[in-house]
Amino acid sequence: MKDDDKTRDQLLAELDLARRTIAESEEKYRAYFSLSNDVMFHWDNQFRVTGVSPNVQRILGYRPDELIGMHFHELNVLDPADFGEALENAMHLLSGKKVYSSIFRFITKDGASKFGELSEVPIMRDGKVVEMLCVAREITERIETLEALREREETAQALLNACTNSLILLDPSGTVLALNDTAARILGKPVKEIVRTLITDHVTREVIIRRKPYFDQVISSGKPVRFTDEDQGRSFALSLFPAKDSQGKVIRIAVYSQEIIIPKYIK
């Protein structure tokens, strides 16, 4: 009987230890998601929310109990414009496939718009999808930064194209950072095929040999250089303008080129 009592006490102790371990894991889970920008959702195969991490209130403004038990279409947290893609992802999950890195716009409880990057996996049991797990990471700041950068790039390109003469921006290695339509037309290729390539890939070896000393002079002196040159029977007046960092090092060279047109009556 004492041995039985000992065995029972051991089982109870092991059970208590298991419960405490689970409780500690749950506490760590709650702590992680309360600090993280990752919101975890659980869905059943009827698209009903069965669980959501507590930090959803900080990110979207809803308490978990306001969302649990609701169906996908009842939540009103997804921008209507993204609903079709989200439903398509759900169909993939139901077929047992994983969905990685989908970006959706979410609507917070107070009506604000936020962006989230979602990764979703199905949970299988006996060969069937019984639940779906979704981790959504808020990336609003990243999206807004990329959008602002895109707008700046478009503005800069518009300013470049406002000039009818050739404009090219190079780094000291000769990589093309930007150019206008006129420059692209002279080089004979679309802008997108020239940007982030070496300027030496688009001009003849003779042109490289003639112009490189001026390019090197701008980098070494940090002062503008002006000269004239010919290419394919056309004469150009070129100006190289350096841009420097806070230490005075040349980090960009703007190349302004104007074709010299000699009136026919002078010839």
Q: What does the alpha-carbon distance between residue 49 and residue 77 come to, in Å, rounded to a whole number?
A: 13
- pLDDT given for residue 33 in this prediction: 53
Domains, in order of start, for the chain? 34-142 (3.30.450.20), 163-259 (3.30.450.20)
- pLDDT digit string, tens, across residues 140-164: 888 888 888 788 777 777 777 777 8
pLDDT beyond 90 at 173: yes
Concatenated DSSP letters of 112-147: -EEEEEEEEEEEEETTEEEEEEEEEEE-HHHHHHHH
Please, are residues 194 and 187 in contact by the beta-carbon 8 Å criterion? Answer: yes
- pLDDT digit string, tens, across residues 178-233: 999 999 998 999 999 999 999 999 999 999 999 999 999 999 999 999 999 887 77
Please, are residues 221 and 241 in contact by the beta-carbon 8 Å criterion? Answer: no
Encode burial over 62-93: b for 16+ CB neighbours within 10 A, e otherwise: bebebbeeeebeebebbeeeeeeebeebbeeb
- pLDDT given for residue 96 in this prediction: 87
Tell me the whole-structure pTM to 2 decimals.
0.55
Given pLDDT bands bounded at 50, 70 and 90, which one contains residue 62?
very high
- pLDDT given for residue 1 in this prediction: 47
